[in-house]
Structure 1
Amino acid sequence: MRSTSRVLRTAAIYVVLLAGAVITLAPFLLSAMTAFKTPQQFAQQPALAAPDPWTVENIVTLFAGPAGFGRALGVTVLMAAFILVFQIVFSIMAAYAFARVDFPGREALFWVYLATLMVPAVVLVVPLYLMMVQLGLRDTFWGLVLPFSFGSPYAIFLLREYFRGIPQDLVDAARLDGASTLDILVEVVVPLSRPIIATLVLITAVSQWNSFLWPLVITSGDTWRVTTVATASLQSQYNGNWTVVMTATTLAIVPLVVLFLVFPKHLVRSITISGFR
């Protein structure tokens, strides 16, 4: 009886997991299938039916038409790469200062800075927008990236806790060998912190690639439009042509799928640490 109940419990767990997987993957499968259908096929065939015949007409329309989706992809790559590099660099430097450098008010300043995590991001949109307007950076690349380039409270918190776990003896030994603070950070701390840095790289890359609200607010034309905003505008631009919209959606998630396939362990670790909040 005990073995039977265990088998039934295991079977029930797998059924629930399978149902969850189907519910999660169905929208992505629907998007990918629709991307290779004509509008007529989309209207006449079942939603999850394979395209018959397959067509790349939607991709041609998306890149050759007035949507400017190719430029939006390029802007998104440039924005995400810029913010990723600068946010990780500044977060590492700030986290090391909070973890290993003694200066007056260090703990108080850290907790005050960390308290900004409690402020909803949407509350900061209007002040940031007014600042960018005053600086003349509205609808520019710098206005798009600067507010998120100088570190992240969440990243600094994680890195600080990880840096504090590095044995002090290693830092002291490097200092006795004549290493400066920057040398210790670059040659000792960073190499020992590769797992957490790789995790933060993935978290930052995914969050910036999916960024929508700030690019929508700070940009107004096609020049610095990102993929999320471009995809949203397609719904009105193509007047309900869902095959083109689904093509844009599918292309927008391809880089994230590639990240998952190339770095599955780090991505799972990032989900465990962050919960993708």
Structure 2
Amino acid sequence: MTRSRFPVSLLCYLILVGGCVLAVFPYLLTLLTAFKGPGQLFATAPWEPGLPPSTAAFERLFASGFGGYLLSTVLVTAGITAGQLVFAVLAGYAFARLSFPGRDALFWVYLSTLMVPAVVTMIPLYLMMQKLGLVDTWAGLMLPTILGTPYAIFLLRQFFRTIPADLEDAARIDGAGRIRTLFSIVLPLSKPILVTVTTLAVVANWNSFLWPLIITSSEDKRLLSVGIALFKGEIGVDYNAVMAGSLIALAPLLVLFVFFQRFVVRSVAVTGLK
């Protein structure tokens, strides 16, 4: 029986190893290319490290104003994430606990917007920002997503519904209002889903490319992803510097996921998602 299962197990492991190599190789390529010197990029195979390692690509990158892109991205990501978290918590709690006419219908209509590709609403959003005079402004960059996203509200609503209503009833008997109950009872019990929503918001806004590319044109409002895509050397695309920028952009997200992955898995399991 064991011998008959061995070929199947071996095949499964080979497929898993192959998938792992395909998934990890782009990150390895980014790391190796970022530390190659100008003459080492085409003189070595992609999977060969440059010897000795060189930081010239990082020096050229920051000399071109990359530090400003990084700072702008941090500030915009922090601002949008904070706004999404606040408004998504309020909306998720309202949909989970408050009773008002058309609550469920409104929730499912709002949730159905997840089926609409973002590129479909890009032009209408741009025209709205243009009419409001918000093109190439920080407000125009942040406004479309700062008020929350359907997915974040859905996750929070599902999690809040798992918290026993008796706890909130007991708080109201003691004289606590809705806001006090939310901040003193519900949110302390919702740390896993709050971490998950925060993590997803940071990743989405940190990697945002198309909307910042369309709505902004000034150098001082250029974000990380746009700056990397538009980075050029003296005679064309500087691949070493592009990979160095990609490595810097990638590192915080990997650290974020490593530290908070257990909260993400736990919250998704509790909300019933697969």
Does residue 151 of structure 1 match 2:145? no
Q: 1:33-67: per-residue Cα shift (whole Å, max 9, x none)?
A: 111111211111111111111111111100013xx
Distance 1:14 1:253, change over 3 A: same
Contact 1:59 1:244 in 2 (8 A): yes
- Give the match for residue 54 of structure 1: 53
Aligned residues: 271
DSSP-derived class of the 1:40 partner: coil
Distance 1:216 1:264, change over 3 A: same
Gaps of 5+ in 1: none
Query: How far does residue 241 in structure 1 lie from its aligned partner after superposition?
Result: 2.1
Does residue 138 of structure 1 match 2:139? no
- Give the match for residue 263 of structure 2: 266
Give, in whole Å, the separation in 2 of the partners of 1:21 and 1:130. Answer: 43
Match of 1:115 among 93, 100, 112: 112
> Aligned residues: percent identity?
47
Give, in whole Å, the separation in 1 of the partners of 2:143 and 2:234. Answer: 30
Match of 1:220 among 214, 217, 220: 217
Contact 2:37 2:54 in 1 (8 A): yes
Does residue 27 of structure 1 match 2:12? no
Give, in whole Å, the separation in 2 of the partners of 1:99 and 1:28. Answer: 40
Contact 1:114 1:157 in 2 (8 A): yes
Tell me which moved more, 162-171 or 102-111: 102-111
Query: How far does residue 273 in structure 1 lie from its aligned partner after superposition?
Result: 9.5
Contact 2:192 2:267 in 1 (8 A): no
Give the 5 Å matches for 1:189-200: 189-200=186-197
Give, in whole Å, the separation in 2 of the partners of 1:150 and 1:203. Answer: 15
Query: How far does residue 272 in structure 1 lie from its aligned partner after superposition?
Result: 7.8
Whichever residue aligns with residue 51 of structure 2, its letter is D
Give, in whole Å, the separation in 2 of the partners of 1:121 and 1:39. Answer: 38
- Give the match for residue 242 of structure 1: 239
Whichever residue aligns with residue 9 of structure 1, its letter is V
Give, in whole Å, the separation in 2 of the partners of 1:44 and 1:271. Answer: 46
- Give the match for residue 36 of structure 2: 37
Gaps of 5+ in 2: none
Give, in whole Å, the separation in 2 of the partners of 1:57 and 1:143. Answer: 36
Taking structure 2 as the reference length, the TM-score comes to: 0.93
Instruction: Report the RMSD for the aligned CA atoms in angstroms.
Output: 1.9
Contact 1:84 1:204 in 2 (8 A): yes
Taking structure 1 as the reference length, the TM-score comes to: 0.92
